[in-house]
Structure 1
């Protein structure tokens, strides 16, 4: 796997007093979708600015496509795409004029504009309307189209689904999957943790400028060892005797189901025992810790340390 982004021991201090980032180290690979998670002020935006070359690290090394992004190599900048959290365009320009302007800046063919409008779900009929007539969601989609100009090899997205309705969010993640399959590296910063859970192959959690977790969802669940919940619905009129096993406490879930919390290492043994009572169980569901749960766990662990 070819690495496209490398961050080694990076720290960023403002005014000699404020440590925005502390000793971050990670790499991003081709065809990888990585979620960057952290509350406001955790250092996410500072990190993205470093990767874009807008600011320089106080210490450490940043490489994007093998180069220092702060040196302004045009070939590297052309291969990057960026969607900021708050997109801002000239309201008097049309969508087409805006995309053409950014295409010229990036020195890519302006003829790709119509394809990009369609790709991000903006009607061609809206392309020649002033941006002042656009809704927030439409401006967000135009921002995404701008970020996709020139088929970037590395894409940085900051709160990309802000202002999008559920259907457009699904379309957005379908597009992200297509880009990833084509080899694009995607770093996606978002507070919508529920959206990221099944869509990011890896999660990097930052807090107070420090990197406190890095791995797949399964990796983080294994490290955190948070309990899972197992829910069973007995067959109508029955209750498996195995549910009364010593050491497993079941509680009513309110819909006729029974639920228990089980330690990470005990999940499979319990499911194995429940399989012996399968004739008395209508449905069985295992509910794993969510990304919200994992995020809270790692933050609390850092605070306790």
Structure 2
């Protein structure tokens, strides 16, 4: 009989988790399985395996990010095969007890990947362990190896027994049934008026739990009003709003610990230091902040900056502080309004990593932006809002397909504005001898055939900007316009 193949993928900055993975692998080999151990960073495809056992070290209550990235890359394939999780930690003898539940980071990943179980096997603390706290503990004689080999082998036998009770033909390629979770966001007929002015009108929107969802529209479209109603800062004039099943206004105290929010215009008390600002906002959130140190490190907010007052901060530093406060308590729902404003390119890359890890951990993220490329990069679906009304909800793939192309032509004869024939339907904008057109993607080739019959000196084709493209494409078409 062909042996079942099991992949053990570990993510760790040092050797503790790798050592646990090796021990599990050896035990599974002895039990008659074909076990392969790899670092999570090297795992690009899990489709050749019958089962997958991802593992990670726990840092401040969270999985190490290489393990989360691996889970995110392979989420679709993992949904079709058995998954069990393991962690190294806590870094003391308590891991030998069976009372330690999955910490929030592991629990979120377990739910998102529909894993069948999670075990914590204990960690090690040596002079090689990363982090100031770890070095201090070792210096004061509190280091050591707290892994329990017998517990590791018992856990491996349990994994093997479960897989042996099913054949490869039963587990590989079969989708594990799971109950449909309650939506993280439900907005029904939301209307918000400011006197005679309508901010949002009869807006309906549903975002699934574990989804990274984009909310697109030009400035003034109603995005911020919608978000403020969602988090309880504004009371709807009409309609119903639910976040994580709660009324954001009536149940605000219950919702706050599970909600992270970054406003589009972050206003902080100028005389408070960064440290005091984060502590104050954590008090308002009403939740522990297990991720604060990690986020400050990754977003390049060193202690020297956090000791300075906010009035000394640049715009980018304030935005980084805002991201830390939105994520420091590891919320289930994260609402971000223009989150990359003011961030330099390197910090933006870190932000995108954080979003990928949030998706892998099963968090829900609503990302509001007028910058289309960042939404395309991070989101599975997007909603487009214009003048307070929902225009459409689309997958990112469909959105990319529908986006108009901008054709820019420069003519050689110096005549300036002229008739463009059929191309007059495509919103020509003239500037001397140059004209720009917004052309539906399926008509670009036909458009070029006609336009190149004119005396053209230069031509460029590019994707149109959000406001140019979508406000034109989703406007009710003039009956005389070409399809």
> How high is the TM-score relative to the length of structure 1?
0.73
Q: Deviations over 1:196-228 (max 9, x none)?
A: 222221111101111001111222355x48579
For residue 148 of structure 1, the aligned residue among 324, 327, 330 is 327
* 8 Å contact from structure 2 (residues 274, 308) kept in 1: yes
Match of 1:216 in 2: 395
* 8 Å contact from structure 1 (residues 36, 44) kept in 2: yes
Provide the secondary structure at the position in 2 that maps to 1:197: helix
- Structure-2 separation of matches of 1:200 and 1:214: 12
* Residues 71-90 of structure 1 mapped to structure 2, 5 A cutoff: 71-90=250-269
Match of 2:197 in 1: 18
Q: Please, which moves more after superposition, 206-215 or 1-10?
A: 1-10
* 8 Å contact from structure 2 (residues 406, 464) kept in 1: no
Match of 2:348 in 1: 169
Q: Are the structure 2 counterparts of residues 78 and 304 from structure 1 closer, same or farther at C-alpha, using a change threshold of 3 Å? A: farther
* 8 Å contact from structure 2 (residues 301, 317) kept in 1: yes
For residue 8 of structure 1, the aligned residue among 181, 184, 188 is 188
Provide the secondary structure at the position in 2 that maps to 1:101: helix
- Structure-1 separation of matches of 2:188 and 2:354: 30
- Structure-1 separation of matches of 2:310 and 2:444: 56
* Residues 111-130 of structure 1 mapped to structure 2, 5 A cutoff: 112-130=291-309
Q: Are the structure 2 counterparts of residues 121 and 210 from structure 1 closer, same or farther at C-alpha, using a change threshold of 3 Å? A: same
- Structure-2 separation of matches of 1:127 and 1:264: 52
Aligned residues: 252
Match of 2:236 in 1: 57
* Residues 24-103 of structure 1 mapped to structure 2, 5 A cutoff: 24-103=203-282
- Structure-1 separation of matches of 2:339 and 2:444: 38
Deviation at 1:165, TM superposition (A): 0.9
* 8 Å contact from structure 1 (residues 5, 66) kept in 2: yes
- Structure-2 separation of matches of 1:266 and 1:134: 47
Q: Are the structure 2 counterparts of residues 111 and 156 from structure 1 closer, same or farther at C-alpha, using a change threshold of 3 Å? A: closer
* 8 Å contact from structure 1 (residues 137, 163) kept in 2: yes
Unaligned runs of 5+ in 1: 230-260, 268-286
Match of 1:157 in 2: 336
Provide the secondary structure at the position in 2 that maps to 1:78: helix
* 8 Å contact from structure 1 (residues 108, 149) kept in 2: no
> How high is the TM-score relative to the length of structure 2?
0.48
- Structure-1 separation of matches of 2:335 and 2:344: 21
For residue 295 of structure 1, the aligned residue among 449, 461, 470 is 470
- Structure-2 separation of matches of 1:164 and 1:171: 10
Q: Are the structure 2 counterparts of residues 44 and 152 from structure 1 closer, same or farther at C-alpha, using a change threshold of 3 Å? A: same
Match of 2:454 in 1: none
- Structure-2 separation of matches of 1:290 and 1:10: 30
Q: Are the structure 2 counterparts of residues 87 and 218 from structure 1 closer, same or farther at C-alpha, using a change threshold of 3 Å? A: same
Over aligned residue pairs, what C-alpha RMSD do you find? 2.9
Matched, 1:137 2:312: no
* 8 Å contact from structure 1 (residues 212, 302) kept in 2: no
Matched, 1:189 2:364: no
* Residues 211-290 of structure 1 mapped to structure 2, 5 A cutoff: 211-221=390-400, 224=402, 264=442
Provide the secondary structure at the position in 1 that maps to 2:377: coil
Q: Are the structure 2 counterparts of residues 291 and 184 from structure 1 closer, same or farther at C-alpha, using a change threshold of 3 Å? A: farther
Q: Deviations over 1:48-80 (max 9, x none)?
A: 111011222222211111111111332212211
- Structure-2 separation of matches of 1:304 and 1:47: 30
Q: Deviations over 1:81-112 (max 9, x none)?
A: 11111212222222111111112222333565
- Structure-2 separation of matches of 1:131 and 1:40: 26
Q: Relative contact order: is structure 1 or structure 2 higher (C-alpha 8 Å, sep ≥ 6)? A: 1
